[in-house]
Structure 1
Amino acid sequence: MRTQFVTDDQGEKVVVILSIKEYSKLMEDLEELEDIKLYNAAKKGESEFIDADQAFREIEQKRGQK
């Protein structure tokens, strides 16, 4: 990864410049990590299994409340 920096008057790095390709890759990786984090959190929680028909009814009911 080739990065460029913009510095302030004191020489502190304040901005990173990346190519669009590198930025896109970082964003894809971040989304994947967020999905993994949510998956791991869901596995730790209590699981309540419901019938698919009931799940669809609840989804449609919540949609109607918006």
Structure 2
Amino acid sequence: MIMKGINYVTDNKNRKVAVQIDLKIYGKLWEDFYDNMIAEQRKDEEKIPLKDLIKTLKEEGKLDESI
């Protein structure tokens, strides 16, 4: 099946090793795909409660005290 805006990069044995995506066509889909990749990579990271994060950001001056 050939999809407009999708091109495969192959190695010297004609195995697919990468893909090029036309962002004009699939930009929104790519954003969702990328967000999912980041979430998957971070799934085992330590979780920080939101209230602790807000407190730290305020202490560092990165968040307005009124929040």
Q: Do they superpose with TM above 0.5?
A: no
Q: If the length of structure 1 is used for normalisation, what is the TM-score? A: 0.42
Q: State which structure, 1 or 2, has the greater radius of gyration over its C-alpha atoms.
A: 1
More helix by share: 1
